[in-house]
Amino acid sequence: MFKLGDYFEEALALLDRESLCYRDRIDLGGHIVDLATHSPILRAQFLPALAHLASESESDADLTILYADSSGTTSPLKAPPMDLFNGQGYAATIDQHDVQIFYQPWLRQVFLYSRLRRIGLYWVINPEEVPWWEMTFSFRIIFHWWSRDQDLQLMHAGAISEDGKHGWLIPGPSGSGKSTSCLQLLLSGRYYLGDDYVILRTKPPFKVHSLYQSAKINHDNFDERFTALHSQLRNPRSYRDQKAILHIGEHYPDRLLKSADLVGILVPRIASPSVAQSTVSAVSAAQALMSIAPTTLHHLPHHRAEAFSKISTVVNAAPCYQWLLGSDKHLLTESFGRVTSDEGRKNA
Amino acid sequence: MNQQVAAEVFEDECIIANLDSGLYYSVQGIAAGLIQALPCADPDAAIATICASLGEQRATAIAELSSIWQELINEQLVVDRVSSNAALGTATAAKEYKRSELNRYADMQDLLLLDPIHDVDEDGWELRE
């Protein structure tokens, strides 16, 4: 019978035998996270999305992430029994109270986390097999597991600030317009915290923290709206098979913000192509919850009840708006300016 | 409420999530009061209490809430038997009639089934061609 705790210890013991000589430290909204690997290839794949959070703090780490691949280690990790897992990478039949596991067999990689030790592990068979999307939201599932015991929640959302201090959450599933609007707002001079996943502080004072600096845009959208940024692409040869990926801190370091006070939620929706104007209208907290919770929890099958409760707390506390995105990019950024100044006046 | 279900009640709307399946529901109108009354040992009594002050619309409201209660059971969001040691919720009388609706959203329904994979290497990892 498969015992998850034993499997975690086995993976940790294998990693202990390796020289995890590539060590990095990031500051995630005041929480220190240590990352260590034996592999310069894996480090080059996973670290850039987090590089803007690099820290030299000497505080104890709140979370440690160890990552490795079988091709570069002396003893490879065995796979967990695949028949325990569903298509979400979740195994409902094994106790995951302390140790959690996320495993989608066809990707030949496994994520593990011990709540007690606050150690996350990532193991992939071969660094060449790391899916391109994993590199854009490095260790996403481990951050989600860790946030369970913090006043934090990983959110499938972008975040933008008008003034470098007050942040707006822009949640939504792929195709809702959140990445396009975040990049458009960055180019119009606003501050960027993320366009796909950010971390929210879910108790007062509510805050939004940047997690990844990797902006991702569907290739057809990129070709239509952002061709001027072609020289900034991380993947100029493969973006049409993946998504167009840019690392914001490399090109707009002064506009990449690490944290902001959360002032509101803008739920984007793409208007009909014939509509040029972008408009903002108030929505209820219930409507905002319906726009945020399903897309955030869809890819994160663990401790959903706690995450649902945290998201509910935030939508109850913050003003929520629907943002109907018209086709004119100048009118789009103007509409953002209007809602932020209106909300600023209310709070003044 | 079933264990895999979470609910958040707002003023006159409630969002219910089946956290296993990824199915979401919104409950609108006075039926949100029915969710607030959970766990509920006697749903008929709870419905009667919620509708007690609705005058001419009382019968309509009772019929709507009874129908929604049955839908909640059919969708396996609530169980019709409450354990004896559960702390029961409290039903309160609605101040005005607001039409009740239960909407179901399946756009984010999780794909739970995994295609069987049989070809694995000696360490149990799926074989690549």
A116-174 pLDDT, tens digit each: 999 999 999 999 999 999 999 999 999 999 999 999 999 999 999 999 999 999 998 88
Looking from the CA of A108 toward its CB, the CA atoms found within 13 Å total 21
Note the pLDDT tens digit of each residue in A162-196: 999 999 999 988 888 999 999 999 999 999 999 99
pLDDT number for residue A183: 96
Q: Do B8 and A79 touch (CB under 8 A)?
A: no
Phi and psi of A291, rounded to 5°? -85, -25
Contact of B36 with chain A, judged by CB distance below 8 Å, is answered with no
- Please state the separation of Cα A192 from the chain's center in Å: 13
Q: Do A308 and B17 touch (CB under 8 A)?
A: yes
Which residue of chain B has the CA closest to A295?
B108
> Do the beta carbons of residue A124 and residue A38 sit within 8 Å?
no
pLDDT confidence tier of residue B83, bands split at 50, 70 and 90: low
- Candidates B6, B13, B105; nearest CB to A309: B6
Q: What angle do CA A243, A249, A251 make, to 5 degrees?
A: 80
Q: Residue B80: is its pLDDT beyond 80? A: no
Q: Do B24 and A125 touch (CB under 8 A)?
A: no
> Do the beta carbons of residue A163 and residue A309 sit within 8 Å?
no
Q: Which residues contact A331 (CB under 8 A, 6 or more apart)?
A: A276, A277, A278
Percent of the residues in chain A that have a pLDDT greater than 70, as a whole number:
100
- Candidates A129, A290, A301; nearest CB to B26: A290
- Tokens in use for A235? 């993947």
b/e map A3-29, b = 16+ CB within 10 Å: ebeebbeebeebbeebebebebbbbbb
Task: Report ipTM for this prediction.
Answer: 0.87
Which residue of chain B has the CA closest to A288?
B15
pLDDT number for residue A112: 98
pLDDT number for residue A11: 96
Q: What mean pLDDT comes out for the span A211-230?
A: 95
Best B3, B10, B24 member to test A by mutation, with max A CBs in 10 Å, is B10
- Candidates B14, B117, B128; nearest CB to A82: B117
Q: Which residues contact B32 (CB under 8 A, 6 or more apart)?
A: B9, B10, B11, B12, B13, B14
pLDDT number for residue A208: 98
- Candidates A79, A173, A308; nearest CB to B6: A308
* Alpha carbons A149 and A202: distance in angstroms, whole number: 12
Which residue of chain A has the CA closest to B14?
A286
